[in-house]
Structure 1
């Protein structure tokens, strides 16, 4: 399978898992999207979703593609529809990233990290990082669901 097709397929699985979490939140969390969760230093589910999308922007758009896209603030996303719309932009970014680097996945790219440090990475490392980062925070969001009194759904890539 060619590189781009494999990455598109991988990202579709990530989107599918994200979709399950978003759908669960729409059905079960009215009014709790921005509820601070003490076990997570009073961060909210909305905060984690926006933070995660910002990581896609940072690594794919700004570090790798040099697009200088501004980061989002949680307060600008009052509801799940606005968060879904933000992820539509993330999806478009990922497609652009894959199209740009499909034949250069191991090329070294120099860039600036969010903390302002010079760093090197490859597009494959960047793709892997943002995917694993999203799943890390998805686990935290599922824990937040539980702490807010909800039994979270099965969100694995392979769902039964």
Structure 2
């Protein structure tokens, strides 16, 4: 399963890179423009939210490490956001390598509010990448609302 998840994450990276390449065509000020239709979030803030969710689930919750979250005021351009995702990729590689022989083993996870849940590393991996795809769709939708014509950023694209 480890090899399959590595491959699946590579597909996620391909889709993410298509989104980032598309975002290069968006004016920098539009990447930072909050939209009321998406809870006054901006495209950049949603991208950082996704990166921080990777940190929360993979590092801080499952591996019980204490990684700092990425701050919006320190990542105000696409180059900085891309650099954040370079760190996310390293984190994902560490996570998959750490659990490569126990991806289906349930783990007790304590949330910041003290509540607990039991999930396997496979479930957390799946949650993290589907969460990214959910917000990727919102980012594309936001760009459309700002007058841009999005490109195909799906895993299967031409």
- The residue that corresponds to 2:115 in the other structure is 117
Conserved? CA contact 1:58–1:114, under 8 Å: no
Out of 114, 130, 146, which is 1:132 matched to? 130
Structure 1 pair 95–43 and aligned structure 2 pair: CA distance change class (3 A): same
Partner of 2:154: 156
Unaligned runs of 5+ in 2: none
1:51-130 paired onto structure 2 within 5 Å: 51-130=49-128
Kept after mapping to 1: 8 A contact 2:50/2:132: yes
Q: How high is the TM-score relative to the length of structure 2?
A: 0.96
Contact map agreement 2:28 2:77 (CA 8 A) in 1: no
Query: Normalising by the residue count of structure 1, what TM-score does the alignment of the two structures yield?
Result: 0.94
Q: How many residues align?
A: 158
Q: CA deviation at 1:94?
A: 0.5
Q: Is this contact kept in 1: 2:14–2:155, CA < 8 A?
A: yes
- Give the whole-Å Cα distance in 2 for the aligned partners of 1:102 and 1:137: 27
Partner Cα separation in structure 1 for residue 106 and residue 2 of structure 2 = 18
Contact 2:106/2:119 (8 A) holds in 1: yes
